[in-house]
Amino acid sequence: MNSNIYANSIEFAVSNGRIQVKQYHQDLKLVGTGRSACVFRIKDTNKVIKVFPSQFTHIAQKEADIYKLLINSNYFPTIYETGENFLTMDYIEGNTLFMCLNKGIFISEKQINEVDNILNEVREVGLNPSDIHLRNIIVTPDNQIKMIDVARYKQKKHDTQWNDLKNAYYRFYLHPLFPKRLPECMLNFIAALYKRKLLFIRFLTGSKTPTSRYKRSKENRWG
Ligand SMILES: Nc1ncnc2c1ncn2[C@@H]1O[C@H](COP(=O)(O)OP(=O)(O)O)[C@@H](O)[C@H]1O
Ligand SMILES: [Mg+2]
């Protein structure tokens, strides 16, 4: 089946910055929705198609170009096809770190270090890994870390999300009394507070960055 047909079968509804899909081809199964696109697994394949609504189509080519720079890395899906409003790539089975927290699957220090190693590898090819948050990191069934959503890896500004998450991990998550399973509504609530850059969240995560940095990373988010 032609990927253009799949991409064009999708009917989006975007309101208040949230994307929803109203309709899509019967060969597709929705596996995730982000801030700029929806991702579907293609029936009887190990591939997904990431489709962007009209206001975000410019991201498709940009993201594909970055994935191509990472083609030699095992930590990223391989890209197969790009169109005006979509890209196709490997389906990555597993749980995002967001799902791990929601399901109570323990996130180990080794996994956190692995993400750090991957980000260093990304920097070595001249990219600036950004938008690194819980929903863009997948733990596979054989405990490998895979990264997705690379569209912002060429941005100039420094993104503090991953460092903030790491601070929260060591400061709170590893504490024996900290619950290892958190309801989705609570995770979304924390993400929303973080997004609004409330000072106390920065305080809680241990970051001592100046106020200007809150403004600079206004669009950052955790979840
Ligand atoms: N290659 C993939 N394999 C499996 N799931 C994926 C893949 N790419 C994305 N997803 C799922 O879809 C969600 C949204 O995709 P993402 O690329 O992060 O979109 P956005 O750029 O809008 O944030 C992810 O959080 C993840 O759950
Ligand atoms: Mg994403």
Last residue of a domain, one of 90, 124, 143: 90
Last residue of a domain, one of 68, 90, 112: 90
Nearest CA to ligand 1 atom 26: 32
Asked whether residue 163 is domain-assigned, the answer is yes
Asked whether residue 223 is domain-assigned, the answer is no
Q: How far apart are CA 115 and CA 118, in angstroms?
A: 5
Active site residues: 131
pLDDT in tens, 147-168: 999 999 999 999 999 999 999 9
Last residue of a domain, one of 90, 106, 138: 90
pLDDT in tens, 69-128: 999 999 999 999 999 999 999 999 999 999 999 999 999 999 999 999 999 999 999 999
Regarding whether 179 and 118 lie in a shared domain, the answer is yes
DSSP 170: I
CATH code for the domain in which residue 147 is found: 1.10.510
Q: How many domains does the chain contain in total?
A: 2
Q: In testing the pocket of ligand 1, which one of 39, 40, 81 has its CB within 8 Å of the most ligand atoms?
A: 39
Q: Determine the atom of ligand 1 nearest the C-alpha atom of 89.
A: 1
Task: Specify the pairing of strand 18-23 against strand 11-15.
Answer: antiparallel
Closest CA to 194 of 152, 134, 137, 151: 134
Report the b/e string of 10-25 with b at 16+ CB within 10 A: bebeeeeeebebeebb
| Residues in the chain, overall count | 223
Q: Quick check: CB of 223 below 6 Å from ligand 1?
A: no
Report the amino acid identity of residue 26: Q
Q: Which ligand is nearest to the CA of 138?
A: 1
Regarding whether 205 and 119 lie in a shared domain, the answer is yes
Per-residue model confidence (pLDDT) at position 133: 96
Residues spanned by the domain of 196: 95-216
Q: Which ligand is nearest to the CA of 149?
A: 1
